[in-house]
Amino acid sequence: MYSFQYHAPTSLAEANTLFAQADDPIYIAGGMTLIPSMKQRLAQPSDVIDLAAVDELRGVTVNPDSVVVGALTTHNQVAEHQALGSVLPVLAKVAAGIGDNQVRNRGTLGGSLANSDPAADYPAAVVALGATFVTNQRRIHADEFFVDLFETALSPNEIILRVEFPVPQRAAYAKFANQASGYAVVGVLVADFGDSIRVGVTGAGPCAFRACGMEQLLQADFSAGALANSDVPNAGFNSDLHASADYRAHLVRVMGQRAVQKLLEVTL
């Protein structure tokens, strides 16, 4: 690693000031992606601004029809939060399946989403649940947040404060995980809001997206069988040593069916 300036602000105002004064700054949350990237010199910021001491970015608020999660809330805190698990169990289950226990103790919801890793789990959840990102500058709906590989709608100095999740009638997530890392080769989350169905997909393409074709099929016939012959175009899908684009398209269909089957077996 190379030399850089480290800062540990205790408020958002201080963090914003530090960012504005630095040459090439970057914010750090849990550091699960940034630290390895810096070790490999894929990222070389002049200043690292650690948000860990900004307490206003932490915490979970559970309401009957919504759940609000602070950006610095760790994966384990989401997974183990009893009230959240009662109202929005699918989000707790998504969090519980991220990486290993060490990663879940350090990694944060906001850090994962801001990174927009194509194989991360949370993006499928925020897309399928129609979540809203609240930043220090504005509100961004999940449908507009993920732009491309490691690219989001956030501006360089924008910080996610919290994410607001509407509570569906029921929802389920199915993931085909990489056996070594736990990352999603493909993950599909299906959410039933009564008057609408939303399907979020991660792992298949450069970033998370809604499977609108699958949504239409499920709106007409909410069953795993409805997706058996669904058309999943693989144009632009990832193709690597873990899975080809064709296989990922197949997995989108299969994981969608499994998520629907799970959803039909439980009541949210």
The predicted structure's pLDDT at residue 268: 45
The closest alpha carbon to 38, from 52, 24, 21, belongs to: 24
Whether 161 and 214 map to the same domain: the answer is yes
Whether 114 and 226 map to the same domain: the answer is yes
Q: 3-state DSSP call for residue 196?
A: coil
On whether the CB atoms of residues 33 and 42 are closer than 8 A, the answer is no
The predicted structure's pLDDT at residue 180: 86
The predicted structure's pLDDT at residue 259: 98
On whether the CB atoms of residues 132 and 164 are closer than 8 A, the answer is yes
Whether 86 and 173 map to the same domain: the answer is yes
Distances (CA, A) of 113 to 37, 131, 142, 191: 16, 12, 10, 19
d(CA 120, CA 230): 24
The predicted structure's pLDDT at residue 55: 93
Whether 98 and 171 map to the same domain: the answer is yes
Spans in the chain with pLDDT lower than 70: 1, 267-268
Per-position b or e across 72-102, b if 16+ CB within 10 A of its CB: bbbbbbbbebeebbebbebbbbbbebbbeee
Q: Where are the alpha helices (DSSP H) in the chain?
A: 12-21, 34-39, 75-80, 82-87, 89-96, 101-106, 109-115, 122-129, 212-220, 245-265
Whether 26 and 150 map to the same domain: the answer is no
Q: What is the pLDDT of residues 23-51, one digit of tens each?
A: 999 999 998 888 888 898 888 999 999 99
The predicted structure's pLDDT at residue 10: 96
* Domains contained in the chain, number: 2
Q: What is the pLDDT of residues 98-146, one digit of tens each?
A: 988 899 999 999 999 999 999 999 999 999 999 999 999 999 999 999 9
What is the distance of C-alpha 36 from the center of its chain?
Answer: 19
Whether 92 and 136 map to the same domain: the answer is yes
Structure tokens at 102: 């060490």
Show the domain range for 110: 58-265
Whether 24 and 136 map to the same domain: the answer is no
The closest alpha carbon to 125, from 63, 78, 62, belongs to: 78
Q: How buried is 173 (Cβ within 10 angstroms: 0-12 exposed, 13-18 middle, 19+ buried)?
A: buried
Rounded to two decimals, the pTM is 0.94
Whether 39 and 162 map to the same domain: the answer is no
The predicted structure's pLDDT at residue 149: 94
d(CA 261, CA 53): 42
- The partner residues of 172 in beta bridges, in order of sequence, read 190
Structure tokens at 212: 């609108």
Whether 123 and 248 map to the same domain: the answer is yes
Residue 10, domain CATH: 3.30.43.10
Whether 237 and 137 map to the same domain: the answer is yes
Whether 31 and 93 map to the same domain: the answer is no
Residue 212, domain CATH: 3.30.465.10
119 CB neighbour count, 10 Å cutoff: 22
Whether 123 and 245 map to the same domain: the answer is yes
The closest alpha carbon to 78, from 60, 98, 57, 102, belongs to: 60
